[in-house]
Amino acid sequence: MKKINVALAGNPNSGKSTIFNMLTGGRQKVGNYPGVTVEIKEGKARRDDYEINFIDLPGTYSLTAYTLEERVARDFIINKHPDVVVDIIDASNVERSLYLATQLMEMQVPLVLVFNMSDIAQRRGLLFDLEQLSKLLEVPIVSTTGNKGLGKQQLFEAIKKIVEEPPQHIRQANFGTEIEQYIEQLKPKIEQKYPELTAKCPSRWLAAKMLEQDEEILKKITDPQINQQAQTAIQKIKGLLGEMPEMIMADHRYGFISGACQETVKTTAELRHEFSDTIDAVVTNRYLGLPIFIGLMYLVFELVFRLGEYPMDWLEGFFGFLGAGVENLWPEGSMPWLKSLVSEGIIGGVGEVIVFLPNILLLFLAIAMLEGTGYMARAAFVMDKLMHKIGLHGKSFIPMLIGFGCSIPAIMGTRILEDRRNRLTTIMVIPLMSCFAKFTVYALLIPAFFPVQWRGTMFWVIYLIGILLGILSARILRSTVLKGEDIPFVMELPPYRMPTAKAMLMQMWTRAWLYIKKAGTIILAISILLWVGMNFPRPDIEHTSSPQLTQQQIKQLELEHSVVGRIGGAMEPAIKPLGFDRNIGIAMIGALAAKEVFVSQMAIVYAVEEDAKEMSLREQLRRDYSPLVGFAIMLFCLISAPCIATIAVTKHETNSWRWAGLQFFALTAMAYVITLLFYQIGSLFI
Amino acid sequence: MPLTQIKEGRTVRLVSIESGYGLKNRLASMGVRPQTEFTVINNHHPGPFMITVKGCKMMLGRGVADKLMVLQLNSENQ
C-alpha cells in the first residue's frame, strides 16, 4: 500500500466540496490549520495499491499573499509537497478558473484539471475541446459531474498516472522578455543564498515573487543584495512598460490562458442564469431586500431556538434524571463529595454542553442551507450598507443575531466571515447581545423591582443598551486594536442552487463535532473547577452549627466557606461602589459558569425555601435592594465577563488566549465603569 | 468616470483601477481587468454594487466601485 497526498484546489463555488465528497465518500475530518481559523478538510480513499489522502484546500482565486486563504493554500503546497494537485475548473467560467491553474503551474506542482459540471455548461451553450486544451496546457484534464458521481474513475486513473510517471516538464506562462530577463538574473542568486528555500519551491517562482513584491517571500528572502537587485529591476520594468511587474505578469497569464482557450472553449450563447436573476431581482431589491432578509433571519432564529427547545428539554430531563439516579443509587454516607462531584460537577457540566447541542446542530444546518443555496452572499449584499457604518461587513450581522440566543453558536458562526479583523471584532462584541441565559436574570430582577407597566420597557431598554454598546465597541475596536484597511470587499455571488441533503447534513455534523470535541472538553474541565471552588473547603458543620439548621441554611454556610464564597467576600470593597454587597458578588462569580446560575446562586445565598423560591426570592430582593441596584445588577450581568463557555469558544475560534483574555477583561472593565457611573450618578437623583 | 456614477442596467468597459496593487491583483484573479466589460445590475446607493462579468455575478463594496474608472458602452437602450 503506497500512501499519497492529493490536494484539491479551486475557486470558491467551483464545486470543490462536491468533488471532495465524491472522492472521499464523506469520510472526512475537519480541523483548523495551526494558528489560523481557516478550515481544512481531509479524507481518505483507497484505490488499487494506493491509500490516497485528499486535502481540501480553501477556495481561492489566486495564490498571492493577500488573503489568509491564499496564504494557507500556498503554504500547504510549499511545505507539504502534495504528490498531485487537483484543480477544479468551473466549466462556466473557464478563463478565470485557469488563472489559478497557471499559478499552480508556476509552482511546478503535478497538476490534474477537473472540468466540473461541464454537461450543464454545454447545455448552456459552451463547447469544449478538452483533448486539445489538455495538449496545449500539457496537463491531463478530466471531466466530471460531481453531484452525480460521474468521472470519479477517470480522475483516480489520472491521479495514479501522474504518481507513476511524474511529468518531466510543466508548462508555464511566459512573462515577456523584459521580466523573464530579470527573473533569470535573480534566479542564480536566490539558488546560491537560499538552498533550503529552492529545495521546496522553484527558484523561478521565488524570483517572480520577488518582482511581485510578495510580502511572505520578502520575509524569507531578506538578503539586501537580492532585494536591491529586485527593486532596481522593478523600477526598470515600470519605466519601460509603464506598469508594475505584478500587473504585467497577470496580463501575461491571461494571455497564456486565452491563447489556450481560443480554439478549445467556444461560446455559442451568452451564459445566463435566468432562474438566479429572477430570485435576485426580488431578494436584493432596494426595498424588499431588507425585509426579506429580516424575515429569513427570524425563521432561522425560530428554527434554532423554538424547534431546538424540545430536544433541549429532553436532554435536560435526561441529565436531571441521570444526576438524580446517581444521587439515589449512591451508597449512603460513602464519600459524599465524590457523589456531589459526579452528579453536579461531571453530569451537570457535561449536561450543560450537550444541552446546547440541538441548538448548535440546527444552527449549523441553517447556515449550511443559507450557504449552500447561495443566499448567504446576498444577505451580505443587503446588510452591507448598514453594517459598514459600524466598520463591519454585511455578513457579520448573522452571527450577531444568533448571539441573542447564545454566544457559543454565534461565535462559532463567525466562521462565515473571511476577513480576520472583521471576524475578531464580531467575536468580541457578540457577548453584548443579551443571550437566553441573561434573559433569565432579567426575568428574575425586572418583576422584582419594577411595576408591571414598566416591565416591557425595561426589557427593551436592557436589550437596546447591549446593542448600542456592541455598535460602540465595534467602532472602537475597528479604530484601535483592529484598525486597518479592509480587504477590499469584492465577493462573488454564486448562482442559486439546491444543495443536496447529504452535503448539508455532513457540513452540519463536521462542524458540530468540532464543538462537541473541543468546547466540550474545555467547558467540562472548567465546570469541574468551578464546582470545586464552590464546594471546598467545607465548613465543619457539626461544630459550627446547631442541629435545627435547614438544608438551605447548610448550603448557604457551605457556599460562604468555600473558595468562591471567600473571594466574593474579599471582593466586597471593590463592588461596593456599584451598589453590590457580598451576596451579589458570590452570585456573580457563579454566573461565570453560566449566566443563569446567578439566579440559583441568589436563591442559595438567600436561603429561601425551595418550594416558594421564585416568589420569596423576588420579595427578599425588593426588601434588600433598591430598583437602582436592581438595574445595576442587570447592567453588570449584561456587559461583564461572558460565561466561561463563551471564553473557551473564543479561545478555540481565535486560537489565542490573548483574544479570549481581552474579551474577558475588557468587557468586565467596561461593565465595572458603566455600572459605577450608572449607580453613582443615579444615587444623586434617587 | 468612476463606476459609482453608472446607473443600473448599463454596460461598461473597465478603463483603469485607481488603487494599490492589492485590489488590482484581487480583481484580476477574479477576472475583472482593464478592458473587461460588465453590466451594473444593482447600484444600492449608497451601498454596495452588483455587477455581472461574463455571466458571473459579483458584489463590489462602494469603496471598490469608487476606484474603478469605466467607459459607458450601451447606447442601444437609449
For residue A155, which amino acid is it? L
Residue A68 lies in a domain: yes
Query: From CA A415, how far away is CA A428, in angstroms rounded?
Result: 14
pLDDT digits (tens, 9 = 90+) for A116-174: 877 777 777 778 888 899 999 999 999 888 677 788 899 999 999 999 988 888 899 99
Closest by Cβ to A93, choosing from B27, B28, B56: B56
Residue A561 lies in a domain: no
Domain carrying residue A95 = 2-164
pLDDT at A106 over 70: yes
Query: From CA A450, how far away is CA A628, in angstroms rounded?
Result: 10
State which of A139, A164, A189 marks the end of a domain: A164
State which of A348, A365, A388 marks the end of a domain: A388
Residue A528 lies in a domain: no
Q: What CATH number is attached to the domain comprising B46? A: 2.30.30.90
Residues 6+ away with beta carbon under 8 Å from A541: A549, A554, A557, A558
Residue A375 lies in a domain: yes
Calculate the alpha carbon distances from A439 to A443, A466, A634, A669 in Å: 6, 12, 10, 22
Query: From CA A348, how far away is CA A180, in angstroms rounded?
Result: 67
Residue A44 and residue A153 in one domain: yes
Instruction: Tell me the pLDDT band of A412, cut-offs 50, 70 and 90.
Output: confident
Residue A160 and residue A33 in one domain: yes
Q: Residue A666 has what pLDDT? A: 93
> Measured between CA atoms, how close is A362 to chain B, in angstroms?
29
Residue B12 lies in a domain: yes
Percent above pLDDT 70 for chain A: 89
Residue B77 lies in a domain: no
Residue B20 lies in a domain: yes
Residue A260 and residue A282 in one domain: no
Residue A307 lies in a domain: yes
pLDDT digits (tens, 9 = 90+) for A596-631: 777 777 776 665 444 444 556 788 888 888 999 999
State which of A358, A388, A418 marks the end of a domain: A388
Residue B67 lies in a domain: yes
Residue A37 and residue A146 in one domain: yes
Give the burial class of A2: count Cβ atoms within 10 A of its Cβ; 0-12 exposed, 13-18 middle, 19 or more buried. Answer: exposed
Residues in chain A closer than 8 A to B19 (CB atoms): 488
- Per CB distance under 8 Å, which residues of B are interface residues toward A? 19, 21-33, 41-42, 44, 46-48, 50, 54-64
Nearest to A595 by CA among A638, A561, A659: A638
How many residues in total does chain B contain?
78
Query: From CA A612, how far away is CA A626, in angstroms rounded?
Result: 22
ipTM, two decimals, is: 0.89
Residue A191 and residue A125 in one domain: no
Calculate the alpha carbon distances from A80 to A73, A201, A618 in Å: 10, 11, 62
Nearest to A588 by CA among A600, A464, A577: A600
Residue A107 lies in a domain: yes
Query: From CA B25, how far away is CA B38, in angstroms rounded?
Result: 18
Residue A20 and residue A147 in one domain: yes
Number of domains in chain A: 3
Q: What CATH number is attached to the domain comprising A51? A: 3.40.50.300
Number of domains in chain B: 1
B50 vs A381: CB contact, 8 Å cut-off?
A: yes
Residue A8 and residue A145 in one domain: yes
- pTM value? 0.76
Domain carrying residue B26 = 3-72
Percent above pLDDT 90 for chain A: 27
Query: From CA A304, how far away is CA A409, in angstroms rounded?
Result: 10
Residues in chain A closer than 8 A to B47 (CB atoms): 384-385, 388
Residue B49 lies in a domain: yes
HEC-encoded secondary structure of A250-284: HHHHHHHHHHHHCCCEEECCCCCCHHHHHHHHHHC
A490 vs B54: CB contact, 8 Å cut-off?
A: no
Residue A126 lies in a domain: yes
Least confident of A225-239, A620-634, B34-48: B34-48
A396 touches chain B (CB under 8 A): no
Residue B78 lies in a domain: no
Q: Residue A547 has what pLDDT? A: 58
Q: What CATH number is attached to the domain comprising A222? A: 1.10.287.1770
Most A CBs within 10 A among B14, B21, B45, hence the mutation to make, goes to: B21
Assess contact for A163 and A84: CB atoms under 8 A.
Answer: yes
Q: Residue A594 has what pLDDT? A: 75
Residues in chain A closer than 8 A to B48 (CB atoms): 381, 384-385, 394, 489
